[in-house]
Amino acid sequence: MGTPKLSIDAVRSKAKNASLLWFHGFKEACCLHRVVVLCLRSRKLSIRTGQCFLLNGFIFLGSMFVLKSMVIPTLQWILPENCSQIDLQDSCSSGVVFKLYSFLRAGLIQLFYVFWFYPLYIFSFILSTLWYNDIAKYGFAAMRGYGSVAEESSSQKESTTKQSSVQTEKPTGLGGVMIGIGEQVYSVLLLSFFFLEVYAIGFIPYIGKALNFLLLSWMYAYYCFEYRWNFSEVSLEKRLDFFQTNWAFFAGFGNPCVLAIFFFSPLVSYGVMAVLFPLFVLTATSSRAEEALYSERRNSISAGIGKLPIFYAADALSLLSQHRFIGEFCTY
């Protein structure tokens, strides 16, 4: 009789701890006032963030707004859909005219996409990827350069041993370069397979959308903190271990990112995320979540909920593809 009660209490305790960590992560993601502070500290950061908003918000999303509110209504007026919009009753007697109008409207809209939206999407994706790295770099520099010396020194004294478990000393010289390249290649493979996993899970009936939302939250949270870890030279193994140990925190951090795009069409979702993503990157860059999670209280909570193998499938596929590639390479 005592065992079921004990298990129920354990599940209740884990659920409570996971909820606390989730709320902590959600609250961290919503601390967007830090972005304003960092932009005021760094002129380069303000310029780069403004350029990102101009490209993705004003031009890309503005083009979508012009298409939906002006171009399509104009085409519907010039090439009407039904008889009530035209005066020629002879044309209404046959549906051929309206089929032709419908074909012309769809063709003109597709031309708009092919010659404007898709090239703009590719251009925005490439340029934004470069800008995100600059934004994270300038934000990290602004945080370190203008931080309170007393606060920084005290936090360093308290978390020196804890940070040493997160950061690893890489070998110098050619060995360090090779390790860095290997980690980058493996990281790209891992995240690519994880993205395919997120996409595929969305097609599962009934629970697919909910699982897709959760995995997307983790994916965006990882992307946001990856810039910080790159500048802090945290190894890939430590990143994954830290992320999967504090899975509830990162689920909470990624939820606001996904909520902003989950109910839009793919192109609109991209535009919204391209505008908001730098804000969440800066929030993650300026966050002291690692110190908080490594504190005695948070660490006991994280240990209480256990480690969740979020990247298990992606990790297995990455290892398999690496072994296949190495095997093919060695045969030649």
When mean pLDDT is compared across 1-5, 161-165, 229-233, the lowest value belongs to 161-165
- What is the mean predicted confidence (pLDDT) over 160-180? 53
pLDDT given at position 291: 72
**Radius of gyration over alpha carbons of the chain, in Å?**
25
Q: How far apart are the C-alpha atoms of 229 and 249, rounded to whole Å? A: 16
40 inside domain: yes
pLDDT digits (tens, 9 = 90+) for 223-256: 999 998 888 888 888 899 999 999 999 999 999 9
Residue 151, pLDDT above cutoff 90: no
Token code pair at residue 18:
């996971």
Name the percent of the chain lying above pLDDT 70. 77
- The pTM for the full model equals 0.81
Residue 264, pLDDT above cutoff 50: yes
3 inside domain: no
72 inside domain: yes
313 inside domain: yes
Q: How far apart are the C-alpha atoms of 44 and 48, rounded to whole Å? A: 6
pLDDT digits (tens, 9 = 90+) for 6-54: 578 777 888 888 899 999 999 999 998 889 999 999 999 999 999 999 9
- Taking alpha carbons only, the member of 209, 57, 50 closest to residue 134 is 50
Secondary structure (3-state) at 200: helix
68 inside domain: yes
> How many domains does the structure of the chain reveal?
1
pLDDT given at position 223: 93
Residue 148, pLDDT above cutoff 50: no
Q: Output helix, strand, coil percentages for the chain, rounded to the nearest 5.
A: 85, 0, 15
270 inside domain: yes
Let me know: does 310 contact 19? Beta carbons within 8 Å.
no
264 inside domain: yes
Token code pair at residue 274:
């391209």
Angle made by CA atoms 115, 116, 120, in degrees to the nearest 5: 125
DSSP symbol at 58: I
pLDDT range class, residue 164, cuts 50, 70, 90: very low
Residue 216, pLDDT above cutoff 70: yes
- What is the mean predicted confidence (pLDDT) over 262-275? 89
Q: How far apart are the C-alpha atoms of 148 and 292, rounded to whole Å? A: 18
pLDDT given at position 155: 43
pLDDT digits (tens, 9 = 90+) for 56-114: 999 999 999 999 999 888 888 887 776 655 555 555 555 677 778 888 888 999 999 99
pLDDT given at position 329: 60
Token code pair at residue 287:
């966050």
Token code pair at residue 168:
């690893």
161 inside domain: no
Q: How far apart are the C-alpha atoms of 216 and 261, rounded to whole Å? A: 11
Token code pair at residue 104:
């012309």
Length of the chain: 332
Domain encompassing residue 115: 22-83+95-147+175-330
Contacts by 111-116 with C-beta closer than 8 Å and gap 24+? Answer: 112/67, 112/71, 116/63
Instruction: Count the neighbouring beta carbons within 10 Å of the beta carbon of residue 210.
Output: 12
